[in-house]
Amino acid sequence: MSSAERQLHLNLFILDTGHHEASWRLPESDPLAHIDLAYHQNLARIAEAAAFDSVFLADAPALWGDVGQRPSGRLEPILLLAALAGATSRIGLIATASTSYNDPYNLARRFNSLDHLSGGRAGWNIVTTAGDAAARNFGLEAQPAHAERYERAAEFLEVSARLWDSWQDDAVVADKERGVHALAERVHPIEYAGRFFRVEGALNVPRSPQGHPLLVQAGSSESGKDFAARWAEAVFTAQLTLAEGQAFYADVKRRAAAFGRDPEHVKILPGIVPVIGDTEAEARELEAELDRLIRPEFAQRQLAGLLGLSPEQLPLDQQLPADLPEEELIEGAKSRYTLIVELARREQLTARQLIARLGGGRGHRTFAGTAEQVADTIEEWFRHGAADGFNIMPAVLPSGLEVFAERVVPILRERGLFRTEYTGRTLREHYGLPRPANQFVTA
């Protein structure tokens, strides 16, 4: 492998017993895995042994969907990653947190703390949180409008960035002789006053190894892509076809350049749900076996909710109603809505068929095939302007991760696409990104 060759990035998206919603029903699955530390330690260690860039946990501050359907209720992800920090030493740790239902002082501090605890391995998947359920846990009747949520997110990031820089890197002098621990003139109250937030500062923790956590984002609406282009260093996205993936990739890179950023400093990671068999037929049978375990009445309620319908408006053996609203009118997860509706229309799927398609990846691309075929599709997207890396979303965990690490990763290495061992220490170094300078220091 030539060291100059562009390298692929791999993130493990951990979700309970796997991304297929029926994975917990398999004999091998522990249905209490989602609240078990040892289970997550094991996953993180497998991913680290394969030199993955990072692991990632999704989140929302509300109970989602049907508690019968699948393991529901999750441990708070920043805490879970703090517990994993001690069990790992190199892999990056990316947690989701909402800008709509947090205070910037507390949240900026928690990511700073995770970065200290992990020696510079923290990442933040910034979300605005769709849905009224979350809003109603925080004193509101309904969620703020989509545009309003993104405006708050923008201000949240402004405040956070200032807090993360409020201690200069050289503020702590630890001069025992003179009895001076830090220099007050190198610690800056931020004195922020905006539309959503007023924060005096400074942060109550010194600057962290990475300066601030790696910023990750996954919004795909217009506001979402602009936000990503302004702030994100890595972008998670759900893309079903190569052409769509290429269009999204080009779009975000162009927007980043328009913000004056180096497009190489925004890494695009589409999701893939790899279902791997010794033959393609075996992989497809694995997939079908999982789909048979989906209980359609649960999935019907969930899909109806996402489309803003009642379950009765969504008969299982008919196609979607013709009069669904336009994306502009959706205040929830706009782009996911569009993706699902377009998929159903394009392939003329009944609700039942759509549910099976979504059961694996909820809109992410499921790819059933041999290890070689999985490596081929990864390489294809990577070489043809659709991806800088992938968000690996195994249908079943831990087995789907183990198979990926044992069979696909070696092929990617042989092709010179993926590292054989870590070359950097911090999460940002894994992604080949520069450490952010401190805005309070001009030198």
Ligand X SMILES: Cc1cc2nc3c(=O)[nH]c(=O)nc-3n(C[C@H](O)[C@H](O)[C@H](O)COP(=O)(O)O)c2cc1C
Residue 438 C-beta: closest distance to its own copies, Å: 15
Binding residues among 283-342 for its own copies as defined by CB under 8 A: 293, 295, 298
Exactly one of 14, 157, 187, 397 binds its own copies (CB under 8 A); that residue is 187
Of the ranges 83-91, 127-135, 254-262, 313-321, which one interacts with ligand X (CB under 6 A)?
127-135
161 binds ligand X (CB under 6 A): no
Nearest to 412 by CA among 387, 389, 384, 385: 389
271 binds ligand X (CB under 6 A): yes
127 binds ligand X (CB under 6 A): yes
Bridge-based pairing of strands 267-276 and 9-14 is: unpaired
Binding residues among 342-381 for its own copies as defined by CB under 8 A: none
> Is residue 150 marked as binding?
yes
Side chain identity, residue 266: V
Residue 237 C-beta: closest distance to its own copies, Å: 25
Beta strand ranges found along 65-158 (DSSP E):
92-98, 122-127
> Is residue 101 marked as binding?
no
Q: 124, exposed or middle or buried, with CB in 10 Å at 0-12, 13-18, 19+?
A: buried
Rank residues 60 and 304 by Cβ distance to ligand X and give the closer one. 60
Binding residues among 313-342 for ligand X as defined by CB under 6 A: 333-336
Distance CA 227, CA 256 (A): 9
> Is residue 96 marked as binding?
yes
Using CB distances below 5 to 8 A depending on partner kind, what does residue 218 bind out of its own copies, ligand X, none?
ligand X
Residue 184 C-beta: closest distance to its own copies, Å: 5
Rank residues 187 and 276 by Cβ distance to its own copies and give the closer one. 187
Token pair of 53, please?
Answer: 């860039």
218 binds ligand X (CB under 6 A): yes
Query: Under a CB-based contact definition with an 8 Å cutoff, are residues 256 and 218 in contact?
Result: no
113 binds its own copies (CB under 8 A): yes
Distance CA 188, CA 229 (A): 28
Using CB distances below 5 to 8 A depending on partner kind, what does residue 250 bind out of its own copies, ligand X, none?
none
> Is residue 165 marked as binding?
no
Q: 9, exposed or middle or buried, with CB in 10 Å at 0-12, 13-18, 19+?
A: buried
CA dihedral 293, 294, 297, 298 (to 10 degrees): 120
10 binds ligand X (CB under 6 A): no
Rank residues 206 and 263 by Cβ distance to its own copies and give the closer one. 206
61 binds its own copies (CB under 8 A): yes
Residue 32 C-beta: closest distance to its own copies, Å: 7
Distance CA 117, CA 45 (A): 17
Q: DSSP alpha helices (H): ranges in 277-408?
A: 280-292, 296-306, 334-346, 351-361, 371-383, 399-403
What distance, in Å, lies between the first and last C-alpha atoms of the chain?
A: 38
Indicate the annotated binding residues for FMN: 59, 96, 146, 150, 220-221
